[in-house]
Amino acid sequence: MEKLFDKPYFYWFHAINQIPRGSYNEEAISNFLKKFAEDRQLEVIQDEAKNIIIHKPATPGWENSPWVTLQGHMDMVCEKLPESTHDFSKDPIEMSVDGDWIRANKTTLGADDGIAVAYALAILDAKDIPHPNLEVIITTAEETGMDGAQALKAEDVKGEFLLNLDSETEGIFTLGCAGGADFHASFDLQLENAGKEPVYQLEISGLKGGHSGQVIHEGRGNAIKILARILHQVAAKEKLHLVKLTGGSKHNAIPTQAQAIFQAGGQVEQQVKAAFEEIHAELQLVDPGLTYTLSQAQADQRIVLDQTQQILDYLFVLPHGVQSMSPAMHGLVQTSLNVAIVTQEKHSLDLQISIRSAVNSSKLELVDRLMTLTPYFGAQPKAGGQYPAWEFNPESPFIDKVQKIYQDLYQEEAKITAIHAGLECGLLKNSMPNTEMISFGPTMEDIHTPRERLNISSTNRVWDFLLKLLASFK
């Protein structure tokens, strides 16, 4: 890694990765950014949500330029391989170079969106980079519902143009994104003493997972849905009692693992194997690593039979994946949902579903469908965490400027698009309604998974483009 430190943005990327910065654990990184600004005598705001806003005056010759905002988020998704001992609450990210890529040691890398923070710090720290009046907004809790962006106050921000540095493919410039909502279904569990039937633990693993806003159209397996389907098939032939059901870890990640403890008699091993092989055959082209383990377990209590059936029926019929494609842009998902997390406490089981749509009415209609469906299975529905879509609008002289600079630099045509993933631009429009916005960034792969990696050459090229774009505001 040290060989890359002559590039200031790689130096700062390594520096912030020494500070734990999972969502809702951002106080240390927020304080680091605040001190960074104070040490350089830059105007800085740290608001109640721990967002950081830094202002840097224009360099000589650019004093009459408009205010330009560089924007990203400081938090990262914390995912690791099962064998990793990494503690995201205190351990730094272990980074290494693999050819033209930077990756982490069995954990997420934090390039999403640490590279935006690193770019911003490198520019703020430099004395030889021409730039307009500069505003840097680094938000908190983006990965868990964009809480930081929602907390921004209009009086604290002033950019006339905003460069969101939270995209993952170089050369693709985003002008729109999906809005979203969170949905919860909660069961008040009815428990009884465990019976005499054998107790099993069934675990689904080996799936690719990935960001539910970026790869939902690929049809990758969902561990929770696969587990429920297998148990539903077993329960159709044998009396089955759930004991415990868990799976998934992040609302915006397709779950790669899910586990169930249950009681059942009969030919459980054969039925699980047959159901699994059926699903594996369906997914072998997109998720060939899918596997399961069935082992003996223990139980003192179990969920009563009728409620077990309600839970399995609900999970079985619950929709997951793409619901509609955009008629405005070929190949773009318009509306989807991700069955993301299931957790169980002593007397409750909670299911979290992430909903996305580029059309607000479609999002609300899907929420209403779930609100209607859920009570039929004995669960309590609750919707919240809604954020607006950033409406796609490709007609802008600013976009023409961006495309020309990219074409002149790399003799390649920039692609203008909208995405199904959520970006903070939708929320930032509430605080900055007259600001022109665009999102771009260097190439990275498998974000939100332990396979996450950042392309070095692409990071260098996007840096060069960013400096040219800033200089163009003179």
State the catalytic residues.
75, 142
What is the rounded distance in angstroms from the CA atom of residue 23 to the CA atom of residue 35?
20
Is the alpha carbon torsion for 419, 436, 425, 430 positive or negative? negative
Q: Are 263 and 241 in contact (CB under 8 A)?
A: yes
The token pair that represents 1 in the structure block: 């890694």
Q: What angle do CA 178, 184, 188 make, to 5 degrees?
A: 175
| Cβ contact 145:182 at 8 Å | yes
Residues 176, 393 contacting (CB under 8 angstroms): yes
- Pair of tokens at residue 63: 């004093």
Q: Are 19 and 32 in contact (CB under 8 A)?
A: yes
Question: Torsions phi, psi of 174, nearest 5?
Answer: -100, 135
- H helical segments located in 40-181: 111-125, 147-151
Q: For residues 303 and 346, what is the distance between their CA atoms, to the nearest angstrom?
A: 11
SS (H, E, C) 169-222: CCCEEEEEECEEEEEEEEEECCEEECCCCCEEEEEEECCCCCECCCCHHHCCCC
φ, ψ of residue 54 in degrees (nearest 5) = -120, 135
Q: Which are the contacts of 403, defined by CB distance < 8 A and separation ≥ 6?
A: 173, 413, 414, 416
